[in-house]
Chain A
Amino acid sequence: MPDISALRCRECARTFELVDLHVCDFCLGPLEVVYDYERVASRMGRASVAGGPRSLWRYRDLLPVDAEAAVDLGAGCTPLVRAERLGAQLGLRELWIKNDTVNPTGSFKDRVVSVALTKARQLGYKVAACASTGNLASAVAAHAAWAGMDSVVLVPRDLERAKIQMASVYGGRVIAVDGTYDDVNRLCAELAGEFATWAFVNVNLRAYYAEGSKTLAFEICEQLDWEVPDHVVVPIASGSQLTKVKKGFDEFGLVGLVTGAGRVRVSGAQALGCSPVATAHAAGSDEIVPVRPHTVAKSLAIGNPADGYYALQAIAETGGGCAAVTDDAILEAIRLLARTEGIFAETAGGVTIASLLQLVEDGTIAPHERVVAIVTGHGLKTVEALSDRLEVAPAIPPTLDAFCELVEGLDEATPLAVGGRS
């Protein structure tokens, strides 16, 4: 709600109204939305949330925009799935998967874009834009189409084909840039200064955009019947999502919707080929040294994470850990999640699940904890990453004999008749 929130510089603490400003105009520090929590608490309760729309806009009291004219394709309210098979395999008492693959464009980015473009429209912007590792591009293009805005999305040229094709379908302009995501990011930071009428959602609307990720934490609490989990595993690209998930739990505690919010441990998940936050965490350093990414998890390939420092702080404050997993582990984890829980995740989800395994193995996650792993994007977006690992479907003539012959030849280790869920 705009009347009870403001922008505050995370570095020098100067405050601003909810204006069109993307960094502190004194020290260039990032801006954070702060709320008057007493007033939020007076108007937000479990019943008012439960009676709200079936999208992230049910949490409008803790979002910094006017929800009456929301750009809402229905992002949010995704399933929180009890993962019994995977949990049993890992020796965890209670494991849940936050399945954010089922958002309108197949990733959690729909949450942040819904908030950012709602604000962009209110500020009078006509063109929606972004720097993207793939998922954001489709989310921006789709929401812009819905809102009747033009869109321009910039992506690194080596992105997965499916992501570029998907982003192109919504009618906006997709521009492939020679370089890494960090190069695209830097270009957009410069463009945002020059093209003043363009809303680069993750640049000049970033303060508003990032708030959308809090709704992951809000939903998890509501879906756990207004309780908090003990431990949550969140992938790290820029570090914004992890930081905001922690903020979400804290805010639900501050407005009295849950108790024990301060006990939620937050752990990070990175690919070994792009792990600047995990590296700093392992070294006990608070300095993030940028890297040149080289990983199959392209959606997380940010070598110079703008919110890496804050993610590191959130992990340290809550007693979480930060894993770094190999490409091989990522691709195996995608199959593990699909085979145990029927959820097909993109490579970023593979990073989350492989990190979950690593954090259980190294003792960071205890067996008795109630754990939530956030799976942020759909597997169809990165299906090419698995092409070497999937069996080619056998082709047979359409006859009973041919089928029986094939089935007889099947290895006993992969019987056709498998047990149902117990």
Chain B
Amino acid sequence: MSTTIRIPSLLRTLCGGSSTVAVEADTVGNALFELECRHPGFGERLFDGDGRLRRHVNVFVDDEDIRHLHGLATTLAADTTISIIPAIAGG
């Protein structure tokens, strides 16, 4: 089950400048864990000390915010795209 993770431009230095990273995972949480395993540094940036996703980090599965789904436990179908987008815009 291949999942594409789209990397925000500021964090691309962690993965050699790539805008996407492909991983094999069944949930969003596992996909992000896999990302950290391959490219150390993502974990401490995306998660707080308690292991929760930082509140200003928005994660989407295809076009849906995971907070509208099942958070990190959201399961991934085949060929989905996860986007990591900082919550900076608005109004």
Contacts and interface: CB of A to CB of B under 8 A. Distances in A.
Given A193-B9, A194-B9, A203 B45 contact: no
B57 A28 contact: yes
Interface string B1-19: 0000010111100000000
Contact of A28 (B10, B67, B91): B10
A305 interface: yes
Contacts of A23: 10, 56, 86, 88
Interface string A187-208: 0111011100000101100100
B45 A200 contact: no
Interface string A277-316: 0000000000111100000000000101111010000000
B90 interface: yes
Interface in A171-223: 182-183, 185-186, 188-190, 192-194, 200, 202-203, 206
A306 B9 contact: no
Nearest to B65: A290
Contacts of B9: 193-194
Nearest to A27: B45
A23 B10 CA distance: 8
B29 to A, nearest CB: 18
Contacts of B65: 182, 290, 304
B85 interface: yes
Interface in B34-91: 44-46, 54-58, 60, 63, 65, 67-68, 83, 85-91
B63 A240 contact: no
B91 A133 contact: yes
Contact of B91 (A189, A241, A290): A241
Contacts of A22: 88
A179 to B, nearest CB: 8
26 contacts: A25-B10, A26-B45, A27-B44, A28-B11, A28-B45, A28-B57, A30-B87, A30-B88, A133-B91, A136-B91, A185-B90, A186-B58, A186-B60, A186-B85, A186-B89, A188-B89, A189-B86, A193-B8, A206-B89, A237-B90, A238-B89, A238-B91, A302-B90, A302-B91, A306-B88, A309-B55
Interface of B: 6, 8-11, 44-46, 54-58, 60, 63, 65, 67-68, 83, 85-91
